[in-house]
Amino acid sequence: PDAALTSMVEQIVDDAVAVPAARRSQEGTYAVVTALARLHANGIAVDWAAFFAGTGARLTDLPTYPFQRQRYWQMPDALGGDLAVMGLEGAGHPILGAVVAVPDTGAVVLTGQLSVTRHPWLADHDVLGTVTFAGSGLVEMALHAGHQVGCDALRELVAESPLPLSGDVPLAVRVVVGAASPSGERTVQIYSRADSGGEDDAPWRRHAGGVLASEPQFEPEVPAEWPPRGAEQIDVPGVHARLMEIGYGHGPTFQALNAVWRRGEHLFAEISLPEDADRDGFVLHPAMLDAAVQLSRLGGGAELESAWRGVVAQATDSAVLRAHVAPHGDGGVAITLSEPGGRHVISIGSVESRTVSAGELASAAGTRPVSLLRLEWVPAPGAAEAGAMLTDFTWSSHETALSGKAVPDFAVAPAPAALGEMLALLKDWIADERSATSKLVVVTRNAVAADGGEPVDPGRAPVWGLVRAAMSEYPDRFVLVDLDEAGDADRELPAALATGETEVAVRAGEVLVPRLAKAEPAADVPVPWTTPGTVLVTGGTTGAGALVARHLVAVHGVRRLLLTGPPNPGLEAELTGRGAEVSAADCDISDRAVLDALVAAVPESHPLVAVVHAADATDGDGPIGAMTGERLDAVFGSAAEAVGSDSTPSSVPPPRRCGTCTS
């Protein structure tokens, strides 16, 4: 037998790799190719050029930079395997991944996961500072569950508790559909709990319960004329500003209102999602239904839907929908959504809401286990003893690291003063084929905050970022060692290298290595801003800068902002709606003359009192081989030169630099 023959050969010949090139159970060509692949996998050289000669095959570069997040292969199933093998059936839904029938009873359970990481659009629904799963999402899951069992109507769904989400803790979801009653009705209940990776200790929380029914589809009355005659158009940015004012933070996916009209107590809207939003698999994407619900909130405060009644829906492929929101009962509203051609998509007899507080949402979020981690530098046990046994150790400077005939296991080089020189050293090391089996040890001093003692030198810290980028492309080729100012490299490096770690810090002779440790959540107590004047946020119209601007206004109560960056009228309207006075300038802050003029233009009545430097540049994105000194200069021009500008008035305190970057 093949296995016995392979074992016999490997026992007779030391270090042999025996691979059969013919198998009775395999076609000949397939067996030979498989044999070559196994030889290659066992480290035996295969002449692939000869193998592919005459076939037209060619070499193709593989991706080397993981942070671009571009996938070159199909992602596995959300549940990590074949659902049929697990005894499950696919639910055909973006959130609900599988469905299983309960024997004898006719009940059905749908399972899924709510994860801001897997579904980033979920983070676009914020209520009073807490990312919360929209009530329209509960309706969507109940409707999809009903369609699985032939119940096309949601007679009632009562929301019992909020469903806050966390960025790093996915939630397991269960939608439980009961057995059919004699009248055909079925109960539906929606639960969640922290997804503990197989552990069953976390309790389930019920968020909603209701009744599904089999009722005929019907065509509700939709406006025959669009926009309806006599309706007055409302400014959409003003709608978003009002929603922000009362506590709703809607990201791009949930800013689906294109146009809004009012006629008496009736509201009408045109709704569409961003082009990159995935609508496949939904009965109705939650953000489209939530956009209609948003219209009912303009006259009140922060609310969550408490009950949905009389919901009938059918799936749609239309990218644009028309909404009609009408008053119903004591404070409730009736909602109808239809396609531009008049086809009914969803009708809701009534939606009732209740006031919610930030404390209630925070309390609900607090019942979830939060996974907070922090970086700790811990002593490496036995490093000194192991270092004393390390004999193959050579110190090399930038000029001599690759000048010898043979490269040692470790070639040690002090980090150059200029980052461009460090880049040149990395590129030289990567390009030299002799270095493939060696490691370049880059030595810095006080470039990382390893013990909370000596402050980080912002001129040296970028070296770690640059070398870390090289590590991601070329694993096992680099080691970072950070010494304190008094450290003796000749004495301390052997112990650092003996750890086998790629990042090491030595403080007062003690070898430290980085580890992730659990961190206790800090009390989130907003500090009110009491200093009158203008706060400058560089890069404040996009990206992290825009988040900072929102945080300053919403959490700390800053009332005057000067933002630099590309125009962003939506952000300005949003911040203005929260009571801030906002001015913006699209300018190059790395240009000293431009920055001088910007600061000089700040009125004396509202002087510049604080600067948050969030400007950045992305020209540094790319593999090490494509990086140049000019591209580094372009990045540091906005990140470092503007911080050191002499334009900042003396009344503004000097910048406090972050411990892990140059900003």
> Does the structure show a pLDDT above 70 at 227?
yes
> Does the structure show a pLDDT above 60 at 143?
yes
Spatial separation of the C-alpha atoms in residues 311 and 93, rounded to whole Å:
19
Whether residue 130 contacts residue 361, with contact meaning beta carbons closer than 8 Å, is answered with yes
Token digits of residue 558 = 């800053």
375-518 against 534-641: fold identical = yes
Q: Mention every residue, 6+ apart, whose C-beta is less than 8 A from residue 597.
A: none
Look over the chain and give the mean of its residue pLDDT values, rounded to a whole number.
Answer: 81
Which has more pLDDT, 230 or 527?
230
Predicted confidence at residue 400, as pLDDT, reads 59
Which has more pLDDT, 493 or 391?
493
Going by CATH, does the domain composed of 375-518 fall within 3.40.50.10860? Answer: no
Q: What is the pLDDT of residues 387-403, one digit of tens each?
A: 666 655 556 554 555 66
Kindly report the CATH number that applies to the domain delimited by 89-213.
3.10.129.110
Predicted confidence at residue 307, as pLDDT, reads 92
The CATH architecture of the domain made up of 534-641 is 3-Layer(aba) Sandwich (3.40)
- Burial letters 37-63, b for 16+ CB under 10 A, else e: eeeeeeeeeeeeeeeeeeeeeeeeeee
Q: What is the pLDDT of residues 495-510, one digit of tens each?
A: 888 888 999 999 988 9
User: Going along 38-151, which residue ranges are E strands?
Assistant: 89-90, 96-101, 108-114, 125-127, 130-131
Strand, coil or helix: 206: strand
The CATH architecture of the domain made up of 232-366 is Roll (3.10)
Confidence grade of residue 68 (pLDDT, cut at 50, 70, 90): low
Query: How buried is residue 275: exposed, middle or buried, by Cβ count under 10 Å (0-12/13-18/19+)?
Result: exposed
Instruction: Domain ranges for the chain, please list them.
Output: 2-52, 89-213, 232-366, 375-518, 534-641
